[in-house]
Amino acid sequence: MNTTAAALQANVTVATIRTWCRRGVVTAAKQAGRWIIDTASLAARIAIGAMRTRKATHVIDLNATYSGQLLPDEAPRTFTVTVKRRVSPDGEHLTVIRSIIPLVADKLDAIADLGDRIASLNALAGANIVISDTAHDDWEGDPIARERGLLRTTYRGGAAGISVDDVFELAAQIRTQLAA
């Protein structure tokens, strides 16, 4: 069977069939510059189903840096993410992420106006994320906490294009990444 007929039968592209032939996924021989595919081998491959690939996982770089100006005439300042873990006196395990500016760098770079970008940097300059392992009822309903205090931030908004919910989404991603 030639590659075109095999592609129709397997419901894939001709390029996929050629790749299978080169990799030995199906039994095939090259004759006069063309692949001749063994029908039994192709049928077995079709019966197996689609080849499985692992999905790429999104990883947040917790060692990231970002350079930006806090004042228009000032030299750029470098912001570096720091992650520290500690245990509070009542036994609560806390992970504190300071200087979150590099973690939202894509959103900052998308701000076209320099004045808005500088204002956003100033709004984010002191923002932290706190991830806790202990929920507290007293954090319920607090605008700077989610999940009864399991996720907290000092960011209260004010940066163009970056909401408090964006920071909490980032905090949840970091928590998942650190737990893995």
| Same domain membership, residue 83 and residue 34 | no
User: Looking at residue 51, what is its pLDDT?
Assistant: 62
Each residue's pLDDT tens digit, 151-165: 999 998 888 888 999
Convert 20-66 into a string of H (helix), E (strand) and C (coil).
HHHHCCCCEEEECCEEEECHHHHHHHHHHCCCCCCCCCCCCCCCCEE
Question: 92 lies in a domain?
Answer: yes
Residue 60 inside a domain? The answer is no
Residues 40 and 77 placed together within one structural domain of the fold: no
Q: Determine the structural domain holding residue 40 and report its residue range.
A: 3-48
Shared-domain flag, residues 165 and 104: yes
Residue 50, pLDDT above cutoff 90: no
Are residues 166 and 99 part of one domain? yes
Mapping DSSP to helix (H, G, I), strand (E, B) and coil, where does residue 122 land? helix
Q: Are 91 and 23 part of one and the same domain?
A: no
17-31, 41-55, 64-78, 112-126, range with the lowest pLDDT = 41-55
pTM exceeds 0.75, yes or no: no
> pLDDT at position 114, please?
85
